[in-house]
Structure 1
């Protein structure tokens, strides 16, 4: 590992893996390295989907996170680069059979014999650093000070973190390590909420997200979990450059004509405050669910609307509907599923985080309402969004 990359420190963790900051050994370039433990066939399927989607993007869009490489850990002290375009057959078999399949003994033996003692020691040091960083992260207690209204009912879908000890054994594939470009601005929540509200910056973010999603849909990729947490930011002298990331729930279409409105999905997945009504209702849905999620994000970014979900203390960007006398927060998709004729109030007239940017103009409000339509067919296609956003912003500037 250390012949190619040097692991530095943990910078984030989620339900499926841990992300570390690292450096390319030869060039010194900073990279993000995500460790995905392969202990469960359901999680392995998500990892392979993420790898496949990131390979498809092939560093071809500035607003989509770039994949530099992938490493396969098939033993406590054994790591090797995965060849481009190749997938570990044992991992694919694990997904198909519904149980973790052992790596071929001959392959494991040949790999161990071909490695130098230096690489073996490097892998061991990598594992030691991983364990140390994870233990340190568990001791940190993050508290957030916010007057933002919090959701009073526990409706969030919880994902179970994988256990690495479920399928022990030296011949198992223990983990995939994805090496990606490093984003020094953190995620979109952290970046925007740590800055003074700036209308021009917000417009830049919205336009870049339009371009990224149009690119993904053009490749036949439906993200299915668009939210500020899954958008990373690179800080440059010309302003923020956003990067759509985290493709674990994404799906790739086999449609020859690329018409994603004909590709239907049935798995209910995503994050509560960004899920489309049809996903909330358990109906089949298309890539237009991404457009709804994008509409929630745009509304929250442009008006700096924030939420704090039950069970968390972190403020995040997200729009909502207030329900009942107590004013508990309800996701837009859930509210529209219950009442397809619900009239959304854009700009929002409820209390929002100070200090506020100017509200979006009439054209942008109209576009947001179209993106948040309860009928998926009424929402604009991804390849139409950027032109409509630019037109709406021009009208506001005049």
Structure 2
């Protein structure tokens, strides 16, 4: 690893991997390096989804985290760079078989193939020696060179797949929760953040990528002279489908219930099939929380998070769950009770109307991503005047 990158410190840890701050050995450029251990097929499938999505986005949008390279760990201190568009076949095999394919298993398959090939050659020689002695034989040419063995007859020793390392751009502002809640409210900054997120999700949806886990934890911030630049990250739960067809996004339906409770759409809560419009609902929850500085504290946690909700007595209910139970529930925007003073000015009528559209219980009533950025700009401009 030290020949390519230097690991400095751990900056994040989740259910599936660990993120380190590091530097490129040759240039000294600061990078984020995410280690994903290939310990079981379920995790490997998530890692491959994340890799495919990040390769599809490449470095084509300023508000989506950029992937620099991907490395395969083949031993305790050995790394093998993966070429663009390539994935280790054994990782794909692990996902398909539902069990981690070890090097010994792959070697055993290669040995079996070699044995089968040897048996075939032996049978051929046996058949040849059984020919009648009167059968005319082609005289041997002693000067003839012996053909080199074919490459497939000498299979290489299979590589071990201990972990994937994703090398990404480094964001020095932390995640969106840390960045926005560490200082006083700033309307101009909040408006910039929601505009950038609109642009990022429109870009992802145009590529046929549904994120499925949009939340402030998965939005990173880079500090620049012109202000914060937000980056959508963590594509482990994302799904890729076909891109736009005749100007319309394909309506691929998903069935896996995944995401984070306070940002999941009603149809996901209800176990129904859903489309990329579930991402739009997640954006609505985030935007409402950002613009009004609404926070909540999960059980066992010490840091408040940005997120809107419905109060049920002493309990906080996620919006998606509440709307699944009652599709006619009337949301109160602006919210009357907020938990993170000092408070910013409440959103105006145009923005409140847009938020209600984003949080519609009917997915088809939510604006599609390719229209959202224009509607957001229009609403902010109308409320300013």
For normalisation by structure 1, the TM-score amounts to 0.82
The separation in 1 between residues aligned to 2:240 and 2:248, in whole angstroms, is 12
After superposition, the C-alpha distances for 1:71-124 in whole angstroms (9 at most, x for unaligned) are 1012223211111110000000000000001248999xxxxxxxxxxxxxxxxx
The separation in 2 between residues aligned to 1:289 and 1:62, in whole angstroms, is 23
The separation in 2 between residues aligned to 1:263 and 1:171, in whole angstroms, is 36
The answer to whether residue 176 in structure 2 is matched with residue 183 in structure 1 is no
The Cα shift of 1:70 comes to: 0.6
Greater relative contact order (CA < 8 Å, ≥ 6 in sequence): 1
The answer to whether residue 282 in structure 2 is matched with residue 293 in structure 1 is yes
Match of 1:22 in 2: 22
Match of 1:305 in 2: 294
- After superposition, the CA RMSD in angstroms is 1.6
2:365 to 360, 367, 378: 378
* Residues 1:197 and 1:309: Cα distance change in structure 2 (over 3 Å): same
Q: Larger radius of gyration, structure 1 or 2? A: 2
Match of 1:59 in 2: 59
Match of 2:336 in 1: 349
The separation in 2 between residues aligned to 1:261 and 1:311, in whole angstroms, is 40
* Residues 1:249 and 1:38: Cα distance change in structure 2 (over 3 Å): same
Count of equivalent residues: 334
Match of 2:149 in 1: none
The separation in 2 between residues aligned to 1:323 and 1:381, in whole angstroms, is 31
The separation in 2 between residues aligned to 1:216 and 1:255, in whole angstroms, is 10
Runs of 4+ in 1 over 6 A off after TM superposition: 104-107
Partner SS state of residue 172, structure 2: coil
Trace 1:356-375 onto structure 2 (pairs within 5 A).
Answer: 356-375=343-362
For normalisation by structure 2, the TM-score amounts to 0.84
The separation in 2 between residues aligned to 1:234 and 1:342, in whole angstroms, is 37
After superposition, the C-alpha distances for 1:118-171 in whole angstroms (9 at most, x for unaligned) are xxxxxxxxxxxxxxxxxxxxxxxxxxxxxxxxxxxxxxxxxxxxxxxxxxxx96
Match of 2:228 in 1: 240
Match of 1:228 in 2: 216
Contact 1:186 1:233 in 2 (8 A): yes
1:217 to 200, 205, 210: 205
The answer to whether residue 194 in structure 2 is matched with residue 174 in structure 1 is no
The Cα shift of 1:397 comes to: 1.6
The Cα shift of 1:43 comes to: 0.3
The answer to whether residue 71 in structure 2 is matched with residue 97 in structure 1 is no
The separation in 2 between residues aligned to 1:277 and 1:172, in whole angstroms, is 42
The Cα shift of 1:177 comes to: 0.3
Q: Which runs of 5+ in 1 are unaligned?
A: 108-169
Contact 1:255 1:263 in 2 (8 A): no
2:265 to 276, 286, 289: 276
The Cα shift of 1:172 comes to: 3.7
The separation in 1 between residues aligned to 2:383 and 2:103, in whole angstroms, is 59
After superposition, the C-alpha distances for 1:148-205 in whole angstroms (9 at most, x for unaligned) are xxxxxxxxxxxxxxxxxxxxxx964110000000000000000000011000000000
Partner SS state of residue 12, structure 1: strand
Partner SS state of residue 186, structure 1: coil
